[in-house]
A and B are shown apart, each in its own frame.
Chain A
Amino acid sequence: MRGYSMKVSGQLRSINTHLKREIEKLSGQKLDACYLCGKCSAGCPVAPYQDIAPHVVMRLAQLGHKSVLESKMIWNCVSCGTCVTRCPNNVDPAKVCEALSRISKREGLVNSKVALALREKFVDLIKNRGRVHELTLVIQLKMASGDWFSDLDVGIPMFLQGRLPISGHRIKDLKNFKKLFEGNKEGNK
């Protein structure tokens, strides 16, 4: 990535205002509106299991600090929207996470193979079938991670209860649905 880096010592060397602008543009969020109160981190259901908390993502994004692109948090945000509902400044950290994950993928800085595989396989499935097929997704994910046994205790009961059906559903007008993705190719977000 090109851009002017501040000549400061240690960690802060990777502060990058160009990255900051790009995040703002991609996410549509005004990063400087955030005053880092931490209310997003306080309410986030996944934050306790991540490497950095959402308000730290926001701070690193404000600095344009490259390390944020390697964070797990940006991939594991489930976009539940608790953060934006409670944010006193109407900032949407979930959108920032999404923008960061896209930049992270482009720059090849993804720190979580599974997260990336999940994102890609999920979108592929939607593209081809119009709807996600859980069993295919699980198998593809397992292939990507090479970890076959970790979720068996959850997977088997789900399979037995019919939560992971062998034949999935397709949607009706798949041809027209696929046009949605063509629009995306032209950069029409």
Chain B
Amino acid sequence: MARVGVFICHCGSNIAGKVDVEAVARESASIPGVAYSSHNKYSCSEAGQKTIIDAIKENRLDRVVIGACSPKMHENTFRNTIRQAGLNPYMLEIANLREHVSWVTEDRDAATRKALDLVRSAVGKVAFAKPLTPGKVPVEKRALIIGGGIAGIQAALDIAGMGYEVVLVEREPSIGGRMAQLDKTFPTLDCSACILSPRMVDVAQNPNIRLLSYSEVESVGGYVGNFDVVIRKKARYVNESKCTGCLECVSKCPVRKIPNEFENGKAMRRAIYVPFAQSVPKVPVIDKNHCQYLLSPDPSTIEVKEGERKPRRRCGACKIVCGQDAIDFEQQDEFIKEKFGAIVLATGFNPFDHSKYGEYGAGRIPDVITALDFERMVNSSGPTEGKILRPSNGEKPQRVVFIQCVGSRDEAKGVPYCSRICCMFTAKQAILTREKLPDAEVFVFYMDIRAAGKGYEEFVRRAQMEYGAEYIRGRVSRVYESDGRLIVKAADTLAGLPVEMEADLVVLATGSVAREDAFELASAIGITTDSYGFISEVHPKLKPVEIPREGVFACGACLSPRDIPDTVATAGAVAAKVGILFSKDFLESDPMVAEIDPFKCAACGACVAVCPYSAITMEEFRGKKFAKVNEAMCQGCGTCTAACRPGAAQLKGQTDEQILRSVEAVLQW
């Protein structure tokens, strides 16, 4: 006969305020199988746990029911408690008397009755519990990082610094991400490229980091410690091992009018190109959608009829000038299959597409530009070589107007959240404008200034007081062209006055939105995003970089809009979490997995078909077929147990018998 101990927790007044805990403890003593019952003010406290340990030893209890909060909170705590008393940690059942009872009712009597029912049910179930031991799975100590912006770069360097191997996958031809596009960084005004490019070079030179640029993750399988990942290395048409980065090929390419993505389309690149001067790796890429050679058919395969002109020779200028013979037009996409122990998502963000703002011209007014356009314009390697000019006529603007919250805090445009960085980069851009054009006037239209960060408020005050940027509180209603200038229609809500001013250049502080391609990636990995498409963390406060799929982490702006300091901080946090994972040679696997009795199994294959984790395979032994569960891959969802008709599939710790007994216990009374 089982000897069950029942311990009812007051949880201060959380449970005891609604449930008569003493009555529940008293009544539980009469449930068959219960050898001991008591109640305790805080069972999870050290003193509370000691009481439980002592009671187990004194009363020779062999299994325990604890009526307390949700098992999500303290199941592990109490498993450890009973382990200390010499019991198998899985001889424990939790009756949730807080979230399921006291917190959801006002009725004290009903709460007490329900609490007792839940305790009876738990006693019925625990009576049939069996000792379980966790399995062990080895950890592949290599990390995959998806995204080569500052987040991915920092995480890669930190993980590699711990001595673990890292593969960094970047879909663009160069790492660097959004930070590489910026000119200066707030609040210190240090040059973005100057602080970023040394790290990019570190990535290239670190022996523990393998950089796969111009590559994408195709699929992710497996589980924590043992992910199977397929990476597509897109054809670059340039042999990376032969190329020296002389860029002779780029200067000879005849296709010149392709909008450069890195310059936000505001400058042109060629069909063979590196995105920017400090690119890592400094190996050009041939854009197969624009390359004359790749787009034209092979002349040798074309039959020339009598009287027709022979087709033109294919271009191949880059191949001719390349001294290293690095150009390879025959290159194909390559699929790399590798095993990783951990995956880090660092996929970043996109700037808001302001074509939704018809009142600001929706991108059709040339002198209304976005903050990213401005960053490139003010950068000395950008399209205007650092000069602030009106795109419409190339003249210096006399008055520059900045409009904040474009694509932020705007429910009507589907972006009700604050993008966090725009107040600061607008202040920075206002300062840069006043520095470069001391004669120009600068106006900033804002709703609220959110400058919560080290040195941030001081920075905004400097923009106003030292640099003379005029801040006007009010959202701009409309921007339109008139006689070659722009008219900005707004209101100063503090003065209560309408404001209508002429301007030469309007800069929209476009907010941050989630990347749509990251959403596809998230679905492929099987993790969730919030309603805006940002990746959801396990807990916004206490597990900010962990993702509900174990072994997968995320850092940077793919979680939510954030600035560079926060991005770097979360990248470091991810590295620490990966380090914790890799510090073990083996992982304990949850023993609450499915198990299939080969003698009962009818080999119908129903479980194989329904298993969402592909953890069940058909085996054969001496001519008899049966299904078998891979315990390392099983997540304990129980789908197979519901599908199994002979009842051969059972979830350990949740067997049919245990569940039926727990239902029975409630119905009996």
Contacts and interface: CB of A to CB of B under 8 A. Distances in A.
B496 A56 contact: yes
Contacts of A116: none
Interface stretch (B137-145, B388-396, B487-495): B487-495
Given A86-B359, A90-B412, A37 B474 contact: yes
B111 to A, nearest CB: 35
A39 B476 contact: yes
A86 B357 CA distance: 9
A17 interface: no
Interface string A70-83: 00000000000010
Contact of B412 (A43, A56, A82, A89): A89
B412 A37 contact: no
Contacts of B477: 39-40, 42-43, 82, 86
B516 interface: no
A88 B499 contact: no
A88 B411 contact: yes
Contacts of B405: 37, 88
Contact of A42 (B411, B412, B499): B499
Contacts of B664: none
A42 B410 contact: no
Interface centre among A41, A48, A53 (most CB of B within 10 A): A41
Contacts of A56: 496
A33 B411 CA distance: 10
Contacts of A125: none
Interface residues of B, number: 22
A55 interface: yes
Nearest to B478: A43
B143 to A, nearest CB: 41
B496 A88 contact: no
B478 A88 contact: no
Nearest to B498: A48
A38 interface: yes
A55 B474 CA distance: 10
Interface in A1-51: 33, 35-43, 47-48
A82 B493 CA distance: 17
A135 interface: no
Nearest to A36: B493
A38 B411 contact: no
A38 B448 CA distance: 12
B413 interface: yes
Contact of A37 (B413, B493, B499): B493
A90 B489 contact: no
A48 B497 CA distance: 8
A126 interface: no
A120 B413 CA distance: 38
Contacts of A55: 491, 493
Contact of B475 (A38, A47, A48): A38
Given A35-B447, A41-B498, A53-B498, A89 B490 contact: no
Interface in B453-509: 473-478, 489-493, 496, 498-499
Nearest to A48: B498
Give the interface size class of chain A.
20 to 34
A138 interface: no
Nearest to B473: A38
Contacts, number: 67
Interface string A86-106: 111110000000000000000
A115 interface: no
Contacts of A40: 477
Interface in A136-187: none
Interface string B413-448: 100000000000000000000000000000000010
B114 interface: no
B329 to A, nearest CB: 51
Main secondary structure of the interface of B (DSSP, over half): mixed
Contacts of B499: 42
A42 B496 contact: no
A7 B478 CA distance: 41
A41 B493 contact: yes
A82 B491 CA distance: 14
Contact of A88 (B474, B475, B491, B498): B475
A114 interface: no
Interface centre among B409, B477, B492, B499 (most CB of A within 10 A): B477
Contacts of A36: 493
A52 interface: yes
Contacts of B410: 88
Given A39-B476, A41-B498, A42-B499, A88 B413 contact: yes
A42 B498 contact: yes
Contacts of B476: 39, 42
A104 to B, nearest CB: 21
A41 B412 contact: no
Contacts of A52: 496
B475 A37 contact: yes
A92 to B, nearest CB: 11
A8 B499 CA distance: 33
Contacts of A89: 411-412
B558 to A, nearest CB: 25
A39 B475 CA distance: 5
Contacts of A42: 474-478, 489-491, 498-499
Contacts of A35: 409, 447
A32 B473 CA distance: 19
A90 B411 contact: yes
A47 B410 CA distance: 23
Contacts of B413: 88
A67 to B, nearest CB: 14
B486 to A, nearest CB: 15
A41 B478 CA distance: 11
B277 to A, nearest CB: 40
A38 B409 contact: no
Contacts of B478: 42-43, 86
A90 B411 CA distance: 7
A53 B499 CA distance: 12
Contacts of B359: 43, 86
Nearest to A47: B498
Contacts of A90: 411-412
Given A38-B474, A42-B477, A88 B412 contact: yes
A84 B78 CA distance: 56
Given A88-B409, A88-B475, A43 B496 contact: no
Contact of B493 (A38, A43, A48): A38
B166 to A, nearest CB: 42
A53 B411 CA distance: 22
A52 B478 CA distance: 20
Given A38-B492, A42-B489, 12 more contacts: A35-B409, A37-B474, A39-B475, A39-B476, A41-B474, A41-B491, A41-B498, A42-B491, A43-B359, A43-B477, A82-B477, A88-B411
14 contacts: A35-B447, A37-B475, A38-B473, A38-B490, A38-B492, A38-B493, A40-B477, A42-B490, A42-B498, A43-B477, A47-B498, A86-B359, A88-B411, A88-B412
**A-B interface, 3 closest residue pairs, ranked by CB to CB distance from nearest:** A43-B477, A42-B477, A38-B493
Interface of A: 33, 35-43, 47-48, 52-53, 55-56, 82, 86-90
